[in-house]
Structures are given as C-alpha cells and as structure tokens.
Amino acid sequence: MSIGTKNKVSTASSTIQQALAEAAQGVALRAVTKKYGTFTAVENLTLDIPAGTYCCLLGPSGCGKTTALRMIAGHEDATSGDVLIGDRRVNDIPPAKRNTAMMFQSYALFPHKTIWENVEFGLKMRKLPESDRQRRVGEMLEMVGLSHLGDRKPNMLSGGQQQRIALARALAIRPQVLMLDEPLSALDENLRVRMRTELRKIQKQFGMTFIQVTHHVEEAFSLSDQIVVMTHGRIDQVATPEELFDTPASQFVAKFMGDNNIFTGKVVNCVTDNSLDLIGLEVAGIGTIFCRGHAVPIGTEAACSIRPDLMALEPYSAKIPAKSSLGANQISARITAVEMTGYVTRVSLMVEATGQEILYKVRTEDWRQNTLQEGQLALLSWSKDNCIFLAY
C-alpha cells in the first residue's frame, strides 16, 4: 500500500470514527414489562446503559434477555414502561426510525446480493444519494479489511468474513445503538475468540454503544464494560466484569458464573469490621463459615460463596489445630477426581459428612508439586475476606 493510500485510509477511518462516536446514544429502560397473554417474559426492567458502553445482557435461555433487546430495537412492543434512546422515548417509534441497527445470530446476509450490495442495502432504504452510498460502503469495507471481496456473494466467504460484512452493514447507517443477538454462537471456538476480539476493538475504536445478548459467561467478561445478569425476566445484578467476578450479588449469579462453591445455612452472628460486616453462617454438617457482606438479622437463611482458585488444599492431619472463633474457614473433604484441563487442574472433592461437592482449582504446574491423590482425605481452607455473603 502506498503512502498516499495509507493516508486516505487513515483519513476515512478517522471520519467514520468521529461520525459513529457523535451518533452514539445511551439507552434507558424504565419499569419495562412485556407480557404474552398471561405469561410475563420481562418484568419491571429498569436499566441505564451509558453512551459508548459495551453492554452484555447475560443469562440462561428463557430469561428475557432477547425480548429486552428486541424491545429496544422496536421489534417487540413493551406492554408497559418506557424505552428511551438518548433523551427520546421510542415506544411508539417504528424500528426503521429509531436509528438503531441489529446484527442477528444468523447474520441475515442476502444470499443473492454481492457483499457490496449487502453493505449498501440499509443506505438505499434511507435513500442516500448514490455518491454518498459509494463512499460510505467503500469506507466500511476498508474498515473491516474486506475491500477486495466486494463483488463476491456471502456463500463464498468464511463465517468470520460473513460476520464482518454483517457488522459493516450495520455500522454503515451510523446507528446510535448497535444491538447484537448472539452474534458469535454459530462460530467454532477458535474463531469465536478471534471475532470477539475484533468486536471489542471496533467498539472501542469508534466509541459506539453496543448491546449484546449472550449466554456465554466468558464472552460477556471479555467484551463488556457493563454486564446485566437476568433470570426469570428480571435483572439480578448489573456490574462491571470485575465486580461480577469478585462479588456476585446472589446465589443465582454465583452459580451462573460457574465453579463457585456455595454453602447454605443460617446467620448465627455478625461483627462490624471495617466497611463490610463479618458474618458467621452455620452450615449443617460443616459448622460455622465466616464471610464478608452486609448484616442481616440473626436466623436469616442465606448462603456464601468462595471461588475455587481462592482456596488452599493440603493433606489432612488429625493434629490440625482447632480453627479460631472468627474467620478461619476449614473443611475436610475427600478427593474424588482430578482433571487436568491445560494450564489449570480441577480437583473435585466431597464433604463426607454431607455429601456436598466442592471444587478446587490450581495451576497445573503447582499441582504437579503436590503429593495429594484421588481418594485421599484433604483439608480445604480459605480466608473470610474472600468468602462472599449472599443474602438471597
């Protein structure tokens, strides 16, 4: 590529970046509910997604995340509540006039049209002059690195290339919000990882508002500024990836994040200690487990969560000193399986008194230095400061 061509590409990219950043708007839901007859798909959603945010709606199938996305896009009408894009209430505005774009799971490219014509389609529908269409399609194909494929049909492209064309088509209309409905689910694992990197790179580069539906926890962690965890049509927690990983707010979130060890019981004591209270949770067959959280009344049924990578594991000894009254969490359990998954080894254990399964995770290189084996009794321990109280 000549210096002159590089400069032209750089200038075009800068122009697109400025236009998309200026177009970006935030999204707000205010007590939004969606019912189908007697069935409530989404109930009383209130949410703020700031302009320029990459937000993932995360949850299991049937939790309402796609319905919420479709209401923002205008493909579903809210039964009650308000949907706002920027400062504008859009409940009664049709999808084509909301200045949003949707990237579907199947990409929905027109098989009979060329790549160029696919990207141009939305601009034609908006009746842009031909000269503007030509310029903008050229810019978008340059942006996704597929200028040389403009005359091909979609079936001549790989899955990753088709995804980039679908993205170029969505961005060509310069939407205020881009919505993505499970855009990576049809890709194999290696391509999925590469393409989520591309999505995040483009979103950061152009400062756009992206809202993506996914049921894949790792995908949400890698892409998001903001994660909205949903279950049964409601929002369970809104947090950054770091907050969600470190401090799940409920038993559902802790379980859905995967691998967290959860203990249920009753609150037996609470001591104020710095900003968070130190809570004692009496767990049947195990004893008192200490965790951090905000105080609730004594006798409340609750739970606590500890990540498997924040535990220590050592051979069990009958001479283990009694744990202190405040803060030392220890459990004896028998190793039932050892699974090497690459960099990490997963060790499954069972508390013999209760039958509860516990997971311990460690770097494979560190596990190789350990003398513990399957079938052996071991001692698990962890700090109260890493144990998260779950009030519900």
Q: List per-residue pLDDT tens for the chain, 392 residues long.
A: 444 444 444 555 566 666 666 678 999 999 999 999 999 999 999 999 999 999 999 999 999 999 999 999 999 999 999 999 999 999 999 998 898 998 887 778 899 999 999 999 989 988 899 999 999 999 888 888 888 988 999 989 888 888 888 888 988 888 889 999 988 876 777 878 888 888 888 888 888 899 999 999 999 999 999 999 999 999 999 999 999 999 999 999 999 998 999 999 999 998 876 677 899 999 999 999 999 998 889 999 999 999 999 999 999 886 555 554 455 799 999 999 999 999 999 999 999 989 999 999 999 999 999 889 999 999 999 999 999 999 87
Q: Which two tokens stand for residue 187?
A: 């890709």
Separation of alpha carbons 57 and 44, rounded Å: 15
Do 332 and 275 have their domain in common? yes
Candidates 383, 384, 331, 338; CA nearest to 361 is: 338
Do 198 and 91 have their domain in common? yes
Asked if the structure places residue 52 within a domain, the reply is: yes
Candidates 233, 181, 253, 237; CA nearest to 32 is: 233
DSSP helix/strand/coil, 200: helix
Do 208 and 292 have their domain in common? no
Do 200 and 291 have their domain in common? no
The upper half-sphere exposure of residue 266, i.e. CA atoms within 13 Å in the direction of its Cβ, equals 6
Do 286 and 385 have their domain in common? yes
* 154: DSSP letter: G
Is 209 in contact with 20 (CB distance < 8 Å)? no
Do 217 and 342 have their domain in common? no
What confidence score (pLDDT) does residue 85 get? 96
Do 374 and 333 have their domain in common? yes
Do 94 and 215 have their domain in common? yes
Judge residue 7's burial from the number of C-beta atoms within 10 Å of its C-beta, 0-12 exposed, 13-18 middle, 19 or more buried: exposed
Is 304 in contact with 351 (CB distance < 8 Å)? no
End-to-end distance of the chain based on CA atoms, in angstroms?
59
Kindly report the CATH number assigned to the domain that includes residue 26.
3.40.50.300
Kindly report the CATH number assigned to the domain that includes residue 378.
2.40.50.100
Residues spanned by the domain of 30: 3-99+175-246
Is 35 in contact with 225 (CB distance < 8 Å)? no
Do 202 and 300 have their domain in common? no
Q: Which two tokens stand for residue 259?
A: 């691998």
Q: Which two tokens stand for residue 311?
A: 């535990």
Query: Between vectors from CA 141 to CA 139 and to CA 144, what angle results, nearest 5°?
Result: 110
Query: Between vectors from CA 93 to CA 87 and to CA 95, what angle results, nearest 5°?
Result: 105
Do 318 and 235 have their domain in common? no
What length does the chain have? Answer: 392
What confidence score (pLDDT) does residue 260 get? 95
Residue 201 CB: number of other CB atoms within 10 A? Answer: 10
Asked if the structure places residue 353 within a domain, the reply is: yes
Do 186 and 306 have their domain in common? no
Of the residues 246, 281, 297, the one at which a domain ends? 246
* Partners of 383 in the β-ladder: 328
What is the reported pTM?
0.85
Q: Which two tokens stand for residue 342?
A: 């690459």
Separation of alpha carbons 276 and 246, rounded Å: 14
Separation of alpha carbons 357 and 218, rounded Å: 23
Of the residues 199, 217, 246, the one at which a domain ends? 246
Separation of alpha carbons 290 and 312, rounded Å: 16
Question: Which sign does the torsion angle of CA 246, 237, 208, 104 carry?
Answer: positive
Residue 320 CB: number of other CB atoms within 10 A? Answer: 12
Asked if the structure places residue 168 within a domain, the reply is: no
Separation of alpha carbons 263 and 267, rounded Å: 12
Query: Between vectors from CA 87 to CA 123 and to CA 136, what angle results, nearest 5°?
Result: 20
The CA–CA distances, whole Å, from 35 to 42, 44, 92 equal 7, 11, 17
Do 27 and 94 have their domain in common? yes
